[in-house]
Amino acid sequence: MDLSFTPAEEEFRDEARTWLAENVPAEPLASMDTPGGFEEHREWEHILFDARWAVVSWPERFGGREASLVEWLIFEEEYWASGAPGRVSSNGVSLLAPTIFDFGTPEQQDRFLRPMARGDEIWAQGWSEPDAGSDLAGIKTKAQRDGEFFVIDGQKTWCSRGAFADWFFCLVRSDPDSERHAGLSYLLVPVDTQGLEARAIGRLDGEPGFAELFFDCARVHERYLLGGEGEGWAVAMATTGSERGLNLRAPGRFMAAADRLVGLYREIADSRGPDLDRRDQVVGAWMGAQAYRWQTYATEARLRGGSPIGSEASFMKVLWSELDVELHATALRLMGRDGERADSSWMDGYVFALSGPIYAGTNEIQRNIISERVLGLPRR
Amino acid sequence: MDFSFSDDQIMFQEAMRDFLANECPPEVVRAAWENDSGRTNGLWAALVEMGVVGMTAPESAGGLGMDETDLVLLLEEAGRAALPEPLLEHTAVGIPTLAAAGGPVAEAWLERAASGEAILGAGTDQGYAVGAATCDLVFLIGEQVRAVPVDEATLVEHRSVDGSRRLFEVDGEAVVIDTDPALAFDRAAAAAAAQCVGVAQYLLDATVEYVAQRYQFGKPVGSYQAVKHHLANAALKIEFARPAARHAAWCIAVGDPDRSRDVSLAKALASEAVDLASRTALQCHGAIGYTYEYDLHLWMKRGWALSAAWGDAAWHRNRIAVALGI
């Protein structure tokens, strides 16, 4: 055990910090869930990619640095500490790319990974349906074989960034007689497919961050099938995390937010005097971020020892999503009468954080996974 | 950055776990509640034999020259078994404090402590020293670290809710030890954190086992989501307290500049984890868990005691705030 960083890791950290200090936009970008803000964030992804910071842990030929998982975690710590913009490409990079690495053909890897990493093609997830949210195996959207094509009919919803995305990764029912987990396929669908319409839905903050997708005889070529036909469930579930990034949200994001919260408390206590109850809530948020950090480095060591990522992903998801809500709620309470103002980054962050316990598998589903798969409690 | 333990460290942990599973079952813990000393009959000698008791002493003094990262896994196991022996006071605090201080006190005591012949106790100036009556030398930690030989001291005994923990006020002729009192305190707090994690893990495991075989309405109670989510919440607290406790041990071993802050992180998280695990274990056991005959309370009460000892969660959260400059 050595919980200090090696000279090479420190050098990597310095390089990232220096580049970020010189390149992070001075002014915050507009919300990525507005048409203009989306394009500003796409531009930022180009800048990151061209300096090889977009996907540090990926192979070089796809634009990465072949960084270790520890280096990826270091990069995330530096990235969020620098105040850099949110990552508009993260759903593709975090949720789809691991699946392409594991199940994609060489042609698919060559076709999709670089444009995804550069933000040239931004991806949105098409899994949930109006009647299939937590119960994902209940999806009904059909994809009937017609020669080399799949013909898709049905509806997807809650597609984050779906109003502006270039591609969708969808889970569809390719065997019309199948039920539940069988007969599903994982299809990649370009936005300009005839018979596909994406309609924006106003999110809690009023921005068109979501979309619902309507498929009416939308034809998708079989070269866009990821993994085996009918094996979509296994493909979708095999890579909820991977060696190229443990999680959609690395600890660095919350460490940086907790540090900002500590700064906010200091500022407010300087002008209004100390408030020990609120100070303790600030400490609680800081502790949550640190606890997540050490648990993540411990998990990294376990993965390096050859264990697959499994249930840790559920522990992490519950921790960071609930921490994010508490952290932002604490900030709003600290702000007193200004807490309700709509023009603060803390309010934006709070509204966004509230989606965390819902998306990527609700925290109720995560707790079921922890109790059934980690603790071994009976399913029924 | 490498958060993996060596094969030797894992083997030592497994040996300790197997040893305690065989030699420290609940009957042994219960016997320590009833007897005069609050300790077991013979386990100290066996732990000396295994090398555990003197492991933190230098090899020149007859120890194994190991550090806190070796010890932390064994402390988790001691907590898991609710072992009523003074590993925290003797091995985690006393020996390293003596070894670092050197001088005549170390000269007089270190080898005898490494061999387990002399037993070292520890407590705070304002608090109690657990099991002082069975110790030979007690360290009282406050503004200074003072060493009090027990045979010349006045002891006032109080009962703990954990029947194996005999609490003593210690008063007597003291020698001031040349050491940083904050370091001595942090050693104790970090060791208590590791034990809290072990106690919490036992409470969770025992409860999972119970709810899987207890049937109501024709189904195991562990199949109900309300029960599952209670247990998932306890598992979450433990999952995130354990790495922090191990990290705190490393901070002590290497003399990390943020040691005190990060020991407080560990102890606050571990206290909160064992508190929730105790409440959850009792609630999910129902009435049987509320009985004196059933063994669960041996761990619950150890958990209550360790959660509060060497700074409770609130005390450590305050220390973190101070370290963060707020």
Q: What is the ipTM of this complex?
A: 0.97
Q: Which of residues 67-86 of B touch A (CB under 8 A)?
A: 69
Give the integer Cα–Cα distance in Å for A93 and A113: 9
Give the integer Cα–Cα distance in Å for B302 and B35: 17
Is A313 a residue whose pLDDT tops 90? Answer: no
B317 touching A (Cβ < 8 Å): yes
> Nearest C-alpha of chain A: how many angstroms from B131?
33
Give the integer Cα–Cα distance in Å for B1 and B223: 40
Q: Do A370 and B243 touch (CB under 8 A)?
A: no
For chain B, the maximum distance between any two Cα atoms, rounded to a whole number of angstroms, is 68
Q: Which of B1, B220, B236 sits opposite A5 (nearest CB)?
A: B1
Superfamily per CATH, domain A123-238: Butyryl-CoA Dehydrogenase, subunit A, domain 2 (2.40.110.10)
> Nearest C-alpha of chain B: how many angstroms from A223?
41
**Whole-number pLDDT of residue B104:** 94
Q: A241 pLDDT band (50/70/90 cuts)? A: low
B220 touching A (Cβ < 8 Å): yes
Pairing of strands B166-171, B129-130: antiparallel
Give which of A240, A251, A360 is closest to A311, Cα–Cα: A240
> Which range (A127-131, A195-199, A208-212, B259-263) has the least confidence?
A208-212
CB B214 within 8 A of CB B224: no
Chain B residue with minimal CA distance to A294? B243
Q: Which of B5, B208, B228 sits opposite A1 (nearest CB)?
A: B5
- Enumerate the active-site residues of A: 243
Angle at B127 between CA B121 and CA B133, to 5 degrees: 35
Contact residues, chain B, for A368 at CB < 8 Å: 225, 228, 232
State the helix-helix crossing angle for A251-272 and A312-334, rounded to 10 degrees. Answer: 20
Contact residues, chain B, for A269 at CB < 8 Å: 326
Q: Choosing among B8, B197, B216, B228, which should be mutated to test the A contact, i.e. which has the most A CBs within 10 A? A: B228
Stretch (H or E) spanning B139: strand B137-141
Give the integer Cα–Cα distance in Å for B99 and B65: 10
**Whole-number pLDDT of residue B323:** 98
**Whole-number CA gyration radius for chain A:** 21
Is A299 a residue whose pLDDT tops 60? Answer: yes
Return the SS3 of B138.
Answer: strand
Q: Do B232 and A319 touch (CB under 8 A)?
A: no
Q: Which of B6, B204, B265 sits opposite A287 (nearest CB)?
A: B265
Q: What is the pLDDT along chain B (326 residues), one digit of tens a residue?
A: 999 999 999 999 999 999 999 999 999 999 999 999 999 999 999 999 999 999 999 999 999 999 999 999 999 999 999 999 999 999 999 999 999 999 999 999 999 999 999 999 999 988 999 999 999 999 999 999 999 999 999 999 999 999 999 999 999 999 999 999 999 999 999 999 999 999 999 999 999 999 999 999 999 999 999 999 999 999 999 999 999 999 999 999 999 999 999 999 999 999 999 999 999 999 999 999 999 999 999 999 999 999 999 999 999 999 999 999 99
Is A277 a residue whose pLDDT tops 80? Answer: yes
Q: Where are the domains of chain A?
A: 7-118, 123-238, 251-374
Full 3-state SS string of chain A: CECCCCHHHHHHHHHHHHHHHHHCCCCCCCCCCCHHHHHHHHHHHHHHHHCCCCCCCCCHHHCCCCCCHHHHHHHHHHHHHCCCCCCCCHHHHHHHHHHHHHHCCHHHHHHHHHHHHHCCCCEEEECCECCECCCHHHCCCEEEEECCEEEEEEEECCCCCCCCCCEEEEEEECCCCCCCCCCEEEEEEECCCCCEEEEEECCCCCCCCEEEEEEEEEEEEHHHEECCCCEHHHHHHHCCCECCECCCCCHHHHHHHHHHHHHHHHHHHHHHCCCHHHHHHHHHHHHHHHHHHHHHHHHHHHHHCCCCCCCHHHHHHHHHHHHHHHHHHHHHHHCHHHHHCCCCHHHHHHHHHCCCCCCCCCHHHHHHHHHHHHCCCCCC
| Residue A211, beta-bridge partner list | A200
Q: Do A377 and B212 touch (CB under 8 A)?
A: yes
Contact residues, chain A, for B324 at CB < 8 Å: 262, 283, 286
Residue B89, burial from CB neighbour count under 10 angstroms (0-12, 13-18, 19+): buried
B273 touching A (Cβ < 8 Å): no
Tokens of A162: 């779906």
The stretch A118-146 carries a mean pLDDT of 95
Q: Do B208 and A6 touch (CB under 8 A)?
A: no
**Whole-number pLDDT of residue A239:** 65
DSSP B116: T
Q: Choosing among B12, B67, B231, B239, which should be mutated to test the A contact, i.e. which has the most A CBs within 10 A? A: B239
> Nearest C-alpha of chain A: how many angstroms from B315?
11
**Whole-number pLDDT of residue A34:** 92
Chain B residue with minimal CA distance to A10? B1
Q: Do B232 and A304 touch (CB under 8 A)?
A: no
Give the integer Cα–Cα distance in Å for A220 and A222: 7
Give the integer Cα–Cα distance in Å for B224 and B214: 12
Q: Which of A6, A295, A375 sits opposite B235 (nearest CB)?
A: A375
Residue A201, burial from CB neighbour count under 10 angstroms (0-12, 13-18, 19+): middle
Is A242 a residue whose pLDDT tops 80? Answer: no
B6 touching A (Cβ < 8 Å): yes
Q: How far is CA B190 from CA A117, B67, B101, in A?
A: 43, 13, 20
Residue B8, burial from CB neighbour count under 10 angstroms (0-12, 13-18, 19+): exposed
- DSSP alpha helices (H): ranges in chain B? 7-23, 26-34, 43-50, 68-80, 95-101, 103-114, 181-213, 225-254, 259-285, 296-308, 313-323
DSSP B295: T
CB B199 within 8 A of CB B274: yes
Q: Do A291 and B219 touch (CB under 8 A)?
A: no
Residue B24, burial from CB neighbour count under 10 angstroms (0-12, 13-18, 19+): buried
User: Does any domain span residue B194?
Assistant: yes
CB A354 within 8 A of CB A209: no
> Nearest C-alpha of chain A: how many angstroms from B3?
5
Domain A251-374: state its class: mainly alpha
- Is the C-alpha dihedral spanning A298, A301, A305, A311 positive or negative? positive
**Whole-number pLDDT of residue B243:** 98
Give the integer Cα–Cα distance in Å for A134 and A308: 24
Residue entry with tokens 């690395």 = A250
User: Does any domain span residue B5?
Assistant: no
User: A7-118 maps to which CATH number?
Assistant: 1.10.540.10
Contact residues, chain B, for A291 at CB < 8 Å: 240-241, 243-244, 265, 269
DSSP B24: -
Q: Which residues contact A147 (CB under 8 A, 6 or more apart)?
A: none
What is the domain count for chain B? 1
| CA terminus-to-terminus distance, chain B | 29
> Nearest C-alpha of chain A: how many angstroms from B243?
5
For residue B206, give its domain range.
182-323
CATH number at residue B210: 1.20.140.10
Q: Which residues contact A376 (CB under 8 A, 6 or more apart)?
A: B208, B212
Q: Do B212 and A378 touch (CB under 8 A)?
A: yes
Q: Which of A262, A284, A297 sits opposite B3 (nearest CB)?
A: A297
**Whole-number pLDDT of residue B66:** 98
State the helix-helix crossing angle for A312-334 and A345-353, rounded to 10 degrees. Answer: 150
> Nearest C-alpha of chain B: how many angstroms from A371?
5
